[in-house]
A and B are shown apart, each in its own frame.
Chain A
Amino acid sequence: MANFIGVFLRSLEYGSFYALSALSIILVYKTSYTTNFAQATLGMFNTFLVATLVMRQGWSLYAAIPIGIVSAVILGVLIDIVIIRRATKAGPVGKQIITLGLISVFLGLTPIIFGVDNLSLPRFVSSGTLTIMGTPFSYNALFNILFGIFIMLTMFATIQKTKIGLAIRTTASNETTARIMGVPTKTVTMAAWAVAIVLSMISGLMTAPYSSVSLTFMNDVQITAFLATVVGGFATFHGPVIAAYGISVLLNIFQVYMPSGTIWGKPLLYAVLLLIMYFKPYGIFGKQRLKKV
């Protein structure tokens, strides 16, 4: 039992990483109508910036994070203005290819700017453990869970209850109509990119202490987040987030309770989720949109 509680709590913690990334993906999808494959790479880039300030310049983590946020926002604004806005002629797949190009750009830039060595990053809460029903649990993990949930709830409240949220929702449902009704859709899209990259960075900052800051350290998070977005459906904001936590639980169960689960748990879960994609191609929370001809 204690073991299971441990597994469950860890699922919630990793669920935060995935959910933040999934939210980042869905924000961009809703406003730019493309799946941002560069989500993890952009998160990685900003995590590298924070890690460089901490490891190389001796900054404290909490002093470095605001710099990371500023950098993420600037990147989001730049990507939107310089690239996405000009991609009016590109179709959905064309835009996907652009985000794939962004992966290449930032995989190239990162070693040029931050050097070729992997870095490490301290935890948000450096030490301390509490015991929950006989299961030891670090304060950092607890912080990750709560902070993740806090960000989700803040985002949902913003999207559902505020004027900014209304602008995001109208842009998402029909950009042209939104623009005609006076919604500053360009600003909304730009803001969505900025917030999305900040979310990716937070996901990166949370993940990094458990591995190292390398070019590929966020790949697993990205793939799980994408699967969460598909399984949860691109129709809603909450679908992918709920799916992210769900997949995290499944992943941990597969890894812990399956024979040689540490090796095969992940690929097997991926295969299962592909099958779910096949049978529920618009997600568990999504609806098929009827195509008019």
Chain B
Amino acid sequence: MKKIIKNPYSHFILLGLVLLTLPYLAEAGAIRNSTVTVIGTTIIYTIAALGLNVLLGFSGLISLGTAGFMGLAAYISAYVTETMALPFEVAVMAAIGIPTLLGILVGILSLKFEGIYLGIATLVVAEILREIFINVTPFTGGATGALAGRPVLAGTFQLNRIQTYYLIVVVMVLIFILIHNLTKGHLGRALNAMRGSEAAAQAMGVNIFKYRLIAFGIATVLAAVSGVLYVHYVGLSYPTTWNLMLSLDFLAIIVVGGFRSIFGTFIGSFIIFAMSELFLKPIPALANITPLVKGILIIIFILYYPNGLANIKHQVSHWLVRRKGKRDAFGQTKAEKKNLTRAEVRENDTV
């Protein structure tokens, strides 16, 4: 029993089960139907943000293109199912495959750029994509947007709104498990090494080229999955949706939630997206305040809580224990910590 409780898979599955109950609560009148829709969208954003977390949190590579890749997948999926009238599964493959190839291409470009250039390069890529969304009208519908129906699985099972929500939850749990598998071992260490010290990583045999491509690949696959789910859940895609603000939201999600934390990404997504949709937007006086709050949260977290909410618990206990002069989780007492140089007191350093 203890083994089951400690197993991270069971945490993800438990979270999934809790989320699956929401439509029943809505039916019972405990929560509003619109709340379920907001939570569904939050989960979709969590998936894209998790991809960015693999890229930025683990590998230390910044991308401002998340929204662009998500949008590209959304348009492709809508085009393949609606205009080409091909099965949902084909659309999924095309909508994940094409952006991922593009993402890997950006990964190749990234090899020549140090951190500070990468943000600019991805910003430019997102801008090019945005121009395509606006101008290639036969493909994207231009300013009027593209429409998409709910998924039809295996050509026969037409999902309704609630069933699509279930699909989203299941996909999220699967992705959490897979990303957990990928990041907890060999690959996770290589990505961490790349971020921690590129020189040491290379000396230890980590092929920077290969792992940058893998990191960009994972990030785009997740952004694409997120885009596909978005367009078939929300039903349409506008060019204005996929702007820099959305990419900044993803950034805010992982900064607030916590770098390298799967649950942190979920919590961050809840705070950045769901909170404003559910609590701020319904109040007219606060409706416009959302970007301001997001921006302040980003700055405060980077300055004071660089490990995000996922690690605040550790930080607090760390601090409490140290005050008492006991050895904390980092094996230091407060007195010892005082003797360390500034450079050594940097265990909270992230990016």
Contacts and interface: CB of A to CB of B under 8 A. Distances in A.
A89 interface: yes
Given A89-B348, A96-B119, A277-B117, A103 B244 contact: yes
Contacts, number: 147
Nearest to B203: A293
Interface stretch (B92-100, B125-133, B229-237, B316-324): B125-133
Contact of A93 (B112, B113, B351): B351
B253 to A, nearest CB: 12
Interface string B68-104: 0000000000000000000000000000000000000
B288 interface: yes
Contacts of B294: 101, 104, 108
Given A96-B119, A98-B298, A83 B288 contact: no
Contacts of A267: 127-128, 131-132
Interface in A64-113: 83, 86-87, 89-94, 96-98, 100-109, 111-112
B248 A223 contact: no
- For chain A, the bracket of interface size reads 35 or more
A48 interface: no
A281 interface: yes
B60 to A, nearest CB: 6
Interface in B107-138: 109, 112-117, 119-121, 123-125, 127-128, 131-132, 135
B255 interface: yes
B295 A105 contact: yes
Contact of B128 (A91, A226, A271, A293): A271
Contact of A98 (B127, B245, B303): B303
B299 A102 contact: yes
SS of B interface (majority)? helix
Contacts of A273: 124
A4 interface: no
Given A83-B299, A100-B251, A109 B292 contact: yes
Most buried by A among B56, B290, B291: B291
Contacts of A96: 62, 115-116, 119
Given A34-B116, A86-B303, A263-B135, A108 B124 contact: no
Contacts of B121: 230, 274, 277
Interface of B: 56, 60, 62, 64, 109, 112-117, 119-121, 123-125, 127-128, 131-132, 135, 199, 244-245, 248, 251-252, 255, 288-299, 302-303, 306, 346, 348-351
Interface of A: 34-35, 37, 83, 86-87, 89-94, 96-98, 100-109, 111-112, 116, 219, 223, 226-227, 229-230, 234, 263-264, 266-267, 270-271, 273-274, 277-279, 281, 291, 293
